[in-house]
Amino acid sequence: MIELQDISIAFTAKDRTVRAVRNASLSIASGQIFGIVGTSGAGKSTLLRAINLLEPPDSGLVLLDGRDITGLKGAALRRERQKIGMIFQHFNLMLTRTVYDNVAFTLHIAGKSRQEISERVPELLGLVGLSDKADAYPAQLSGGQKQRVGIARAIANHPQVLLCDEPTSALDLETSAAILELLKEINERLGITIVLISHEMSVIKKICTRVAVMNAGQIIEEGEVYDIFATPREEFTRQLVEHTLNLDLPARLTEDLRGTLLKILFLGERAEQPLLSEVALRFGVSINILHGKIEYINSRALGILVALLDHDRSEDGASRLGEAIEFIRQNTAHVEVLHA
Amino acid sequence: MLELLLPLLDDLKPAFGETFLMVGISSFFAIAGGLPLGFLLYITERRLFWENQAAHAIGNVLVNVIRSLPFVILLVLLLPFTQWVLGTTIGPAAAAVPLSVAAIAFYARLVEGALCEVDPGIVEAAQAFGASPLRIVGSVLLREALPGLLRGLTVTLISLIGYSAMAGIVGGGGVGDLAIRFGYYRYQTDVMIVTVIALVILVQAVQALGDLAARRADKKG
């Protein structure tokens, strides 16, 4: 259990003060994969570093399993840090040491004996799938392999928590997916709580269960990833989600539309019912689906359709269209009229 | 040529001995003094574990003052100090005093530069894993900066060989002194040429060795 209470961190550069994190509070349950998302400069990296006190907060408290670690210094702080693993965007491996020695280094720090180290390192390298690279230097590895070394050394001392600072931002899509898969596996198999920051909602969507959204140093929204995607409360979050779902229509389609353009959100089981065909039959309106997708977040379905509804030339056509939209509204999670 | 070289050899041998002594002593102090001073300059400037603007400023000014003096001036300026330390100002050991002072300041700057080349992320990672300051200095910074430190040491050594020629002025002896006394004052151009060739070979050898060592330490691929 990680608790951040009312954390504020400011930097003073020359003559101005940047308030990187402002009154941020979070509670992260053990065993979770918790995401913090936000644009660059939102303060998420600083907030992450408050957890292992690489950025000691100016005010507020950091609690690990109920123990206040905020004021720890020297050897006590170092012992605490040995229980918190961390991986980085640019891997930060020691270039003059082999893969083996990079992993051994964190074990050394924790005071492990030579024999313990020689048993543990191969085990860790096996876990991240790099058994054959023990004697390679980081410069000889690909980005994905470097991050695997980073993960191996970060979990070497059986930490309770693994902090991930944009772990996939320097990797291509495929490698990125593999690394996220590995993190998920580590979380499930070893029960390590993972706190991950990213500027990409798609990364959060892939592995996190809960997410906090940061903007300009503040946490503006927090909740289950599914809920944040389904019903974002803040405008900033809504933009992030929309950007990820990517439901833009080409301009050609929206220029001379006839009818009403709806964005319909289906949640859970509703996403699996044949609602639109029922509407077409019952209200006699035409339905043309222009865009749509179903996302599965933590194996729950989230369906979004962009559909054009139109009525025929008969007298009550317009009112039937109105009824149809109302019917859809009642039977789905959310309906947004994009164009009327 | 050979009959010219043979008598010269008797002069060259002790001259090289003196040069090696001067460069050896001052190189020792370059490492013993310049390395810690360079680390001090680096560490006190950073929010790492001992940020200290005052200590950084003092170290910085000290290094700048020594580095801004032309070596000949430093040589003369430090004569009383040398007299106080060794009781004499004559001989290669005495010449090694100002050489050492210059070498410490010179190498400290190069050490600081080499440390700046180490990715701060690597240091941050070590901190995140709970490494102590001593371990960060000894096992991370020193090792990651080693290629740069070796290149800097090579540059320092070669500069010291050059400086040691000037040390002849205060009676330090050495190859440079030989070149000036015989080659210049006595118009023995052949002596000048031989000593110059010897110095060129020496510098080439030092550079080649330094490059080799730096390459072996460098794993950046």
Report the gap between the CA of A13 and the closest CA in chain B (Å).
13
Q: What percent of chain A has pLDDT over 70?
A: 99
Q: What is the mean pLDDT of residues A293-308?
A: 87
B4 pLDDT more than 70: no
Q: Using CA atoms, how far apart are residues A47 and A219, in angstroms rounded to an integer?
A: 10
Instruction: Return the residue of B nearest to A86 by Cα.
Output: B128
* Interface contact flag, B121 A88, Cβ < 8 Å: yes
What is the value of ipTM here, to two decimals? 0.88
B221 pLDDT more than 70: no
CA contacts within 13 A on the Cβ side of A154: 33
- H helical segments located in chain B: 2-29, 35-45, 53-68, 71-77, 79-86, 92-116, 120-128, 133-135, 142-144, 146-166, 175-178, 189-217
Asked if A24 contacts A51 with a C-beta cutoff of 8 angstroms, the reply is no
Q: What is the mean pLDDT of residues A204-233?
A: 94
* Interface contact flag, A81 B127, Cβ < 8 Å: yes
pLDDT reported for residue B47: 83
Instruction: Select B2-217's CATH number: 1.10.3720.10, 1.10.1240.10, 3.50.90.10, 3.40.50.300.
Output: 1.10.3720.10
Q: What is the DSSP letter of A91?
A: -
pLDDT reported for residue A272: 66
At A239-265, the pLDDT tens digits run 999 888 888 888 877 777 788 888 898
Residues of B in contact with A86 (CB under 8 A): 125, 128-129
* Interface contact flag, A82 B143, Cβ < 8 Å: no
A 77-136 → B contacts, CB under 8 A:
77-82, 84-86, 88, 90, 92-97, 105-106, 108-110
Report the gap between the CA of A208 and the closest CA in chain B (Å).
23
| Confidence tier at B191 by pLDDT (50, 70, 90) | confident
At A7-45, the pLDDT tens digits run 999 998 778 888 999 999 999 999 999 999 998 889 999
Residues of B in contact with A137 (CB under 8 A): 219, 221
* Interface contact flag, B131 A80, Cβ < 8 Å: no
Q: What is the mean pLDDT of residues B30-56?
A: 93
| Confidence tier at B2 by pLDDT (50, 70, 90) | low
At B113-124, the pLDDT tens digits run 999 999 999 999
Q: Where are the domains of chain A?
A: 2-233, 251-339
* Interface contact flag, B122 A88, Cβ < 8 Å: no
Exposed, middle or buried, A189 (CB in 10 Å: 0-12/13-18/19+)?
exposed
pLDDT reported for residue B115: 97
Mean pLDDT of chain A: 92
Q: What is the mean pLDDT of residues A76-97?
A: 95
Mean pLDDT of chain B: 91
Q: Using CA atoms, how far apart are residues A206 and A187, in angstroms rounded to an integer?
A: 14
A286 pLDDT more than 70: yes
Instruction: For domain A2-233, say whether CATH 3.40.50.300 is its number.
Output: yes
pLDDT reported for residue B177: 85
pLDDT reported for residue B194: 87
Q: Who wins on pLDDT, A37 or B166?
A: A37
Q: Using CA atoms, how far apart are residues B67 and B70, in angstroms rounded to an integer?
A: 8
* Interface contact flag, B124 A88, Cβ < 8 Å: yes
In words, the CATH class of domain A251-339 is alpha beta
Q: What is the mean pLDDT of residues B1-16?
A: 77
pLDDT reported for residue A61: 95
Token look-up 């058994």 returns A131
Q: Using CA atoms, how far apart are residues A63 and A68, in angstroms rounded to an integer?
A: 4
Q: What is the mean pLDDT of residues B18-36?
A: 95
Q: Where are the domains of chain B?
A: 2-217
CA distances to A56, A265, B152 from A219, rounded to whole Å, are: 18, 26, 48
* DSSP β-ladder status, A2-13 and A59-64: antiparallel
Q: What is the mean pLDDT of residues B97-123?
A: 96
A107 pLDDT more than 90: yes
* Interface contact flag, B121 A92, Cβ < 8 Å: yes
**Same CATH fold, A251-339 and A2-233?**
no
Q: What percent of chain A has pLDDT over 90?
A: 66
pLDDT reported for residue A259: 84
What the block records as the tokens of A6 is: 């009312």
